[in-house]
Structure 1
Amino acid sequence: MTALFPKGRLASRIGTFRQLEILIAVAETGGIVAAAERLHLSQPSVTMQMRKLAESIGLPLYEMVGRRMTLTHAGEMVVAHAKEIFECTHRLETSLNQLQGAVVGKLSIGIVTSAEYFSPHLLGPFCRRYPQIELSLEFGNRKHILDRMQQNLDDLYIFGFPPEDSGIDVTPMGVNHLVAIAAHSHPLATQGSLTWLDVANETFILRETASGTRQATEKQLAALGHTIDKHIVIASNQGIKHAVLARMGIAIVPALSLDDGEQKDLVQLPIEGFPLTDHWYVVNRQHKDFSVIARLCRDYLLGEGMSMVEDATRYWEDNHKPKLPTR
């Protein structure tokens, strides 16, 4: 059987890297319109470049079912290999910059929203040390970050409740204390000590079911023989804290998601068995071909970053007040 593409000819027929970039954007955003907005191009330009790429490949790359666009099998294959091509060019760029003695390049980190408050403080010293790095922080709920990891969109990930996946490396970065909070005006806020029976009939403000914080909370409570009966679901850490302030209920949140400014409005409830203890984790896909920058950042997070998390956690344990990790 004659090969569809004679060896060495496909690379010469694909027009530009830009066409591959457009295809990836269409695949990730789900359509021409969204891809055009992301890339600051006109819709006709995106459509034309997609058509030219399909012509050079010799197979349709997507199909329309009503208003819905889906990639063909060929389109999925081209997207997967296009991402490998861009990863390769990124590594080449980094290597060439190293020859010039500069640490330059791109670094993308996916971070669950429960860590969005302290992670910028954690990464601040790293950014100041390597100011020429183009850093991208992608915050999202656990499902969103898991989806990004499955698509290999980022170099590293920070989780509070890591996925159970044999294809990833999971390394603890520090203790994640889960603390119970209430508004200062709540009747329980003035109590010197509490048991679970004192709060069992309270309404708890919880994250969505798939949230790492919620899964860790329910797992730790189950180990203590406790369950939450009445609850309200809010899919936002900031929304949960405002709901607590509005006396809609009490909540269990990571201690490092609190800051000094909230101390005057919120109180940590002294419930027996609290804080619940989990960990923060640095996660990456196994056998990840790290760039120099990604490896530097991973080593930093598991070295200096871990020390900063430990210092902030120790401060909380000694003072029962929040402290963001800084250096």
Structure 2
Amino acid sequence: MNSLATLKEVVERGGVSPAAQVLHVGQPAVTKRLRSLDTCYGVALMHREGRRLELTPAGEKVYEYACLVLDHQFSLLDDLNSLSSGQNRLRLEVNFAIGEHMLPDLLLRFAELYPQYNIESRMGYSRRIQRRLATGLSDLALLEQAPDHPDILVQKWLDDELVLVCGPDHPLWDCGLLPVTDLEKLHYVLREARSSMRLTLDKALKDIGVGSLPVTMEVGSTDTIVEMLQHGRHVSFLPRFTVDDGLRNGSLYHIKIQGLRIKRTLWIARTRSNLNNDVAEAFISLLRGS
């Protein structure tokens, strides 16, 4: 386990010396642990590129395995600590947009209703969240895409849609209905390509024969995109739940597209191995009432 932890630190800290400092050991000890992994797996896991150590293809696989094993170990120790202290907790994961716009209110309301329970939440991409659910590192997730895994149960939560919006200085403000053919003429600031909303958007546009949009910028925060729309010539496709306030107060405008509505569903996902979690049941009850 020490050797796997050492490999992880060397990769993430960028070298033997900083890894040694974090692990509180000498550099020779770090080098020795890396060599022991090479011997154990019968293949070189790292090679030197100039002054940097880089993972080999085999090293990439072992690094991913090390991250998973160490995650499981941390989760196990955390579970044991929770059992010993008698805590009732829920490990919750959410997509970034849900985390930015809906989670704070949900957590505050839950804390008010169930002060005896504890929720540990984190944000991430759908694929990573699905992996953590399937491997037992998380108990419950709120997602923009439904996982497809035999160990994960999925329930419909809310209806949503992706809407095209612009700020008050944009030429299309109050434009009425936009022809689909005009979509490729606009300038876009969108979420990054691996985000759930981009995957949904790209598929919906492909289905109606629209090619790649001229994306000027990709931004990892819907709040940042909304702020940018207030001051520029860009438009964006965003989840309706993230822009409802702006549409109501007049700081954003919904550009309706002729013959196109991108409807979707927000999902509750949980592991089959943790169906008797009282905290999960209480949180789902809150979601159903929201």
Give me the TM-score of the superposition, normalised by structure 2: 0.69
Superposed CA deviations along residues 179-237 of structure 1, whole A, max 9, x for unmatched, are 221112223222344453565633343333322102222334455x3525532141322
- Tell me the SS of whatever aligns to 2:105: helix
Aligned counterparts of 2:17 and 2:109: Cα–Cα separation in 1: 35
Identity %: 17
Task: Label 1:245 to 1:25 Cα distance change in 2 as closer, same or farther (>3 A).
Answer: farther
Task: Label 1:231 to 1:163 Cα distance change in 2 as closer, same or farther (>3 A).
Answer: farther
Aligned counterparts of 1:49 and 1:296: Cα–Cα separation in 2: 46
2:91 to 103, 108, 114: 108
1:205 to 162, 176, 189: 189
Is structure 2 residue 105 aligned with structure 1 residue 121? yes
2:243 to 258, 264, 280: 258
Is structure 2 residue 213 aligned with structure 1 residue 230? yes
User: Which AA in structure 2 matches 1:108?
Assistant: R
User: Which AA in structure 2 matches 1:244?
Assistant: L
Is structure 2 residue 196 aligned with structure 1 residue 215? no
Deviation at 1:268, TM superposition (A): 1.7
Contact 2:16 2:27 in 1 (8 A): no
Aligned counterparts of 1:273 and 1:23: Cα–Cα separation in 2: 54
2:140 to 156, 161, 169: 156
- Tell me the SS of whatever aligns to 1:216: helix
Aligned counterparts of 1:126 and 1:35: Cα–Cα separation in 2: 45
Contact 2:96 2:124 in 1 (8 A): yes
Aligned counterparts of 1:160 and 1:43: Cα–Cα separation in 2: 38
Contact 2:167 2:229 in 1 (8 A): yes
Contact 1:213 1:254 in 2 (8 A): yes
Deviation at 1:121, TM superposition (A): 1.6
Aligned counterparts of 1:131 and 1:36: Cα–Cα separation in 2: 45
User: Which AA in structure 1 matches 2:11?
Assistant: G
- Residue ranges of structure 1 left out of the alignment (5+ in a row): 1-18, 309-327
- Tell me the SS of whatever aligns to 2:120: strand
Specify the alignment match of 1:315 in structure 2: none
Give me the TM-score of the superposition, normalised by structure 1: 0.63
- Tell me the SS of whatever aligns to 2:146: coil
Task: Label 1:272 to 1:85 Cα distance change in 2 as closer, same or farther (>3 A).
Answer: same
- Tell me the SS of whatever aligns to 2:173: helix
Is structure 2 residue 168 aligned with structure 1 residue 187? no
Superposed CA deviations along residues 104-142 of structure 1, whole A, max 9, x for unmatched, are x5x4333222212212222222234236626232x2344
Size of the alignment, in residue pairs?
Answer: 276
Aligned counterparts of 1:110 and 1:304: Cα–Cα separation in 2: 16
Specify the alignment match of 2:286 in structure 1: 304
Aligned counterparts of 2:17 and 2:154: Cα–Cα separation in 1: 36
Aligned counterparts of 1:229 and 1:95: Cα–Cα separation in 2: 51
